[in-house]
């Protein structure tokens, strides 16, 4: 889960990984934000994932590199 998120984020121009960790099987923290990958179908009818932002943590933001 975390590796998929990082792979997707690294493809975005300007992304800087300032810290990440696994939260559980379904969610992970990246740059003090908690994310989940939700399965879905894209506009072409293909299986895809949607990245959902669940929340953020001020404590984690204070610890960013």
4-48 pLDDT, tens per residue?
999 999 999 999 999 999 999 999 999 999 999 999 999 999 999
Residue 65 confidence (pLDDT) above 80: no
32 vs 9: CA distance, rounded Å: 14
pTM of the model: 0.84
Is the model more confident about 56 or about 1? 56
Q: Which domain holds residue 7?
A: 2-62
Read off the pLDDT band of 63 (50, 70, 90). Answer: confident
pLDDT at 38: 94
Name the residue among 12, 2, 7 with its Cα closest to residue 37. 2
Number of separate domains in the chain: 1
Read off the pLDDT band of 64 (50, 70, 90). Answer: confident
């Amino acid at each position: 889960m975390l590796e998929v998120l990082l792979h997707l984020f690294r493809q975005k121009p300007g992304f800087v990984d300032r810290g990440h960790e696994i939260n559980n099987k379904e969610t992970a923290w990246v740059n003090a934000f908690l994310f989940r990958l939700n399965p879905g179908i894209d506009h072409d009818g293909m299986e895809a994932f949607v990245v959902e932002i669940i929340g953020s943590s001020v404590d984690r933001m204070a610890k960013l590199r």
